[in-house]
Structure 1
């Protein structure tokens, strides 16, 4: 039989005041700003502080924090030390604080299943069922990844979900009860498939299946015409999202409606993409963090790579925005510290591009656009021997052919093979359709530089002269000065 809790039923829902939600959102915004500045540890503190005001903030708090944890781990963030673990107990009378302590530790060690279990256990104890519906699939994913099934963890998982289902039933929230029973049953089926002779598991499977059937029957009976009208109202709000311009309050309402629809069915691709589209519309860091959390969870649960592609595109857009802002600041201030920060941001962006586009090329070997992006990033990183073959493959894409050939020529130039660079750049220029656009000018400039470095003065002069007829001050006058220098010599 399924394990039953000796605890009294707990409330299936909590009400949080608008003032608490507002304070939480202020901390979530601060967390998102810190994340964009790569201040990961303080961002974690901000998310946890915000969740202290609104512990059930799944899409605005828990999910962005989970996404941040992965980003921090990829950046080499350290796991919590012994002192920090002692200062943040994950059990005790205060279930909310214990849950937040566990989540804080999990954010610094996302692969630790014990912290996930503690978040789940305390969410049940506190009656935070929205949080439980978020953390339970993550716990189950952790259990599946174990090389050998951890029976104690599986037992805790089932106990928590059955206890939550009983409390939900007592509170009359039959939809939640059905959800909890269904996920508890899934865990038993997972073990039963690996232990087909275990009679106790079969008994528990039958018991949970019966409870689930009863809960689903109650839920079907509770569906009313009034529910349909409420759904229609939400759909009307979602239709407003198609407008080109919206007032702030209208957009807030649309996002709230989309979030509600998504939370009812987190596996629905249309609902996922609708919510993400809306969250990305204003380019606010805190809303982008929520969008990333939605996409990360969708990818983790479905393994649909398109969700990861979109999430990575958002991350690259954030990194480019940060890099540009720091470069602009350094340009204006002239401060050495600002220049160093700009260089670090640019380096982080390039490394991220290499990692992301390498993965995409491996996933989709025929994606020539990704091969071009990879070659471009490798060129920026001065990894020319790796960049050249990627760019050569990318030439098969007509949209990227000339840009790829330009970078190939430049890579040969940087390697000191000036004659080869000149040949590649000459062919690229001859094949370029518009001989007077900016790309043609850059091809001419790089070709002239290659001829100059190879000692082919006549060809260099010819290319520089041709360029100056198009743009006399090209490259801030560098082309003109080089030509004049050759004439003097």
Structure 2
């Protein structure tokens, strides 16, 4: 049997991920973790749908008082497994039940690297790296492990960075300087493509093969490869007409770049929807239309930015933006009707309702979206903004405070947005000292964030006492 592609693996795992989301909402975090791991077993490199979602549940579980692994758990899960995927599952189970344990994170990283799940390994490596450099006594061994993990993943810049930190941790180790030279040389060879038998001529001869490999991985998509990909997708769909193969054919037609091929993609999907009444076909058709409108909007926006006085360009941009927003509103409204328990759809629909200033309609959508752990805090932030734009500043501030108190991470984009929006709400209520304090902390964290510098200057200037007259 042929090995499943990542998209086929994900399709096979979705039922477990969906079930995990459903039980997580009820607070049954242990069962949710098991469901996520069952899904990951089928799609080991499903980063967003699997590992990231599991991480969010793990953090919620530990905050609610979930128990860490006991001695028997450690013995059971620490025994080396022959199957690298099962080893990955065991290590992630331990980390999920003690998500602040750097040792478990390192075990998870080693297992992910050994299993060849590169996206997941890169994510875990970044997490371990940040934890190690933030530690009171950073571990030399951890930096060396990270160096090797990054090197195996082909990320030489991060591998060199990890080695630099290792050298700081152990400056007396003179062999590290030689290792840095070797790693830098390997990076240069990979970057210049001279590592094929160490010969420039060999590098030139291998260029065609490298370009073909890149095209197959969707990194470089020349017109020739698009034709080949389209032909292969059409043949596969004709032999085995499933939703997966037909949607891939539609994608290949849409990417061909002609109006005829794009219209054919829509026709195929809409015909299958009419034949089967499976909403997935209609949804994919709508997604292709939206993607095309987004491309047109980007082009129109660029034209306006290049020539701001061009009235026709501005009119075209405004019209296309209006069409895009209308299409997205209709699409996500239908998706919410078809998938009434899907938090993502309610979140996306709520955002579109916000954009047309239908705040009273957006708020219930965003309230429901909070039941999905993946969208909980983003939905709270957007819901708070709805109250803010309605002029309900006190209610908005309450929502932002609740989100800030519950949100585990203190310095990512969501955390900054929540604090900024709370400060705005306080400022509108005249609570300028509290607002200024929040703006100051934000500026210390990210000096270039939005207009926080100007707001600090404005509030400081406004709060200065008048100079005494002589």
- The TM-score, its normalising length taken from structure 2, stands at 0.49
Q: Which has the higher contact order (CA 8 A, sep 6+)?
A: 1
- The TM-score, its normalising length taken from structure 1, stands at 0.47
The structure that has the greater radius of gyration is 1
